[in-house]
């Protein structure tokens, strides 16, 4: 795999590598892993939510609003189902 990295980004990566005593390759791999994990999680959550909606597993907006407004009041209501 080949990746073209702009000079400014390359300089930032080199600076961080020196500051953390890591290699640029290690940092790039770590960044890629973090990015993929985050985005895979988001896509999976979106698909799960769409499947729930398609199956009719929804909660009325007004019930969720009441629940959220109760947060931090000392009288938090139960999560709507």
- pLDDT, position 56: 95
Residue-wise pLDDT tens digits, 26-61:
999 999 999 999 999 999 999 999 999 999 999 999
> In this structure, is residue 14 part of a structural domain?
yes
DSSP designation for 59? -
> In this structure, is residue 29 part of a structural domain?
yes
Q: What is the mean pLDDT of the chain?
A: 96
- pLDDT, position 4: 95
> In this structure, is residue 12 part of a structural domain?
yes
| pTM of structure | 0.62
Task: Name the domain count of the chain.
Answer: 1
> In this structure, is residue 33 part of a structural domain?
yes
- DSSP string for residues in the chain: ------HHHHHHHHHHHHHHT--HHHHHHHHHHHHHHHHHHHHHHHHHHHHHHHTT----HHHHHHHHHHTTSS-PPPPP-
> In this structure, is residue 81 part of a structural domain?
no
- pLDDT, position 77: 95
Q: Which domain holds residue 35?
A: 7-70
> In this structure, is residue 22 part of a structural domain?
yes
Per-residue confidence band for 64, with pLDDT thresholds at 50, 70 and 90:
very high
> In this structure, is residue 76 part of a structural domain?
no
Mean pLDDT along residues 59-70: 96
> In this structure, is residue 20 part of a structural domain?
yes
């Amino acid at each position: 795999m080949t990746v073209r990295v702009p000079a400014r980004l390359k300089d930032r990566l080199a600076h961080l590598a020196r500051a953390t005593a890591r290699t640029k390759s290690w940092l790039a791999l770590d960044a890629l892993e973090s990015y993929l994990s985050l985005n895979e999680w988001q896509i999976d959550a979106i698909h799960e939510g769409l499947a729930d909606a398609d199956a009719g597993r929804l909660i009325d907006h007004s019930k969720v609003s009441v629940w959220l407004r109760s947060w931090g009041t000392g009288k938090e209501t139960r999560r709507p189902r």
